[in-house]
Amino acid sequence: MSKARDIVETLRTVLVDGDVTNANFTGADLEIAKGGTGASSTGAARTALGVAIGTDVLAPDGDGSALTGVDSLPSQSSQSGKFLTTDGSAASWGTVAPAGLTLLSSVTASNSSTVDIETTFDSTYDSYVIMITGLNVSNNGVNIRARMKLGGAYVTSGYNLNVEAKDSSAGPTAQRLNGAAEFRVVYYAENVATGGTGANTTINFYTAGPSNTSFSKMATWDSVAKGSRARGNKGFGVNTSSTAALTGIRFYASAGTLIGGTFKLYGIAK
């Protein structure tokens, strides 16, 4: 049998059997264009095919806790409590809107002639509430009053208000004022000397849209005062002197000082 015939027979056997193995394959690494990888090792083959782990594709790690090569994602520095989102073309970190009330600032009165709440009214929240607890006064039988800071200054005119006070031993007392110098938030507060042990006042004061410069600024409030008798107070009002941005609320007594009490400003989530 000729050599050529031997070669043909060998090829026929391989092709018929379909059995090309490491044992009967010889020659250089088969190039990619001819169906090979052009490489003789697993790593080199992945590199040649463009699927190198850690460079072209992420390394599998089971639960995804140690993925590598995530260089295109935003930095995680100072992103606590945020979530990853996208606008359809770029990834970014989003912030979860707070639910309910968010505490923004707290001030404690200490024999203060005034307490100013100025941190922070802006467009972050649509509505704000100031919660005042444990409020004590130096003088007996005083009003607790409030003024708005509009256009950078506390306004002393243009307050239109309606207040109704109720006494545990008497009927309601109504007070309506136009063009007043302030809001009358508490109709009658007693100090400890007159009102007895535990005399104090609690106030909730609400306002909205502080940064809107197209509308007059409004407020509503309710309060409970404990003294020699229990007294409740509800009211609402508007300042008509300016539509400037509201940046602060000032509280003070009609006489004497605020000798104690905690004033907390909350933003109400949109």
Overall average pLDDT of the 162-179 stretch: 86
Is residue 14 domain-shared with residue 123, that is, in the same domain? no
Overall average pLDDT of the 205-234 stretch: 95
pLDDT digits (tens, 9 = 90+) for 59-94: 766 555 555 555 555 566 777 778 778 888 888 887
Question: Which pLDDT band, with edges at 50, 70 and 90, does 22 fall under?
Answer: low
CB 158 within 8 A of CB 239: yes
Q: What confidence score (pLDDT) does residue 145 get?
A: 97
pLDDT digits (tens, 9 = 90+) for 133-158: 999 999 999 999 999 999 999 999 99
Q: Which amino acid is at 175?
A: Q
Instruction: Please check whether residue 226 lies inside any domain of the structure.
Output: yes
Burial grade of 238 (CB within 10 A; 0-12, 13-18, 19 or more): middle
We report the CATH number of the domain holding residue 229 as 2.60.120
Rounded CA separation 238/220 (Å): 9
Is residue 166 domain-shared with residue 245, that is, in the same domain? yes
Is residue 107 domain-shared with residue 54, that is, in the same domain? no
Phi and psi for 148 in degrees, rounded to 5? -100, 140
How far, rounded to the nearest angstrom, does the alpha carbon of residue 39 sit from its chain's CA centroid?
55
Q: Which amino acid is at 266?
A: Y
CB 192 within 8 A of CB 135: no
Phi and psi for 46 in degrees, rounded to 5? -60, -40
SS3 string, the chain, reads CCHHHHHHHHHHHHHHHCCCCCCCCCCCCCCHHHCCCCCCCHHHHHHHHCCCECCCECCCCCCCCCCCCCCCCCCCCCCCCEEEEECCCCEEEEECCCCCEEEEEEEECCCECCEEECCCCCCCCCEEEEEEEEEEECCCCEEEEEEEEECCEECCCCEEEEEEEEECCEEEEEEEEEEECCEEEEEEECCHHHHCCCCEEEEEEEEECCCCCCCCEEEEEEEEEECCCEEEEEEEEEECCCCCCEEEEEEEECCCCEEEEEEEEEEECC
Instruction: Please check whether residue 75 lies inside any domain of the structure.
Output: no
Residue 270 has pLDDT above 90, yes or no: no
Instruction: Please check whether residue 72 lies inside any domain of the structure.
Output: no
Q: What confidence score (pLDDT) does residue 104 get?
A: 95
Is residue 147 domain-shared with residue 259, that is, in the same domain? yes
Q: What confidence score (pLDDT) does residue 31 get?
A: 76
Winning range, highest mean pLDDT, from 6-15, 39-48, 64-73: 39-48
Instruction: Please check whether residue 87 lies inside any domain of the structure.
Output: no
Is residue 28 domain-shared with residue 108, that is, in the same domain? no
Residue 49 has pLDDT above 90, yes or no: no
Total domain count for the chain? Answer: 2
Is residue 28 domain-shared with residue 106, that is, in the same domain? no
Which residues constitute the domain of residue 138? 102-268
Instruction: Please check whether residue 84 lies inside any domain of the structure.
Output: no
Rounded CA separation 270/268 (Å): 6
Q: What pTM, to 2 d.p., does this model score?
A: 0.67
Is residue 54 domain-shared with residue 111, that is, in the same domain? no
Instruction: Please check whether residue 54 lies inside any domain of the structure.
Output: yes
Q: What confidence score (pLDDT) does residue 206 get?
A: 98
Overall average pLDDT of the 257-266 stretch: 97
Rounded CA separation 263/103 (Å): 11
Please report, for residues 94, 141, 214, the alpha-carbon distance to residue 90 in angstroms, rounded to integers and kept in the order given. Answer: 12, 62, 36
Is residue 135 domain-shared with residue 262, that is, in the same domain? yes
Rounded CA separation 6/113 (Å): 115
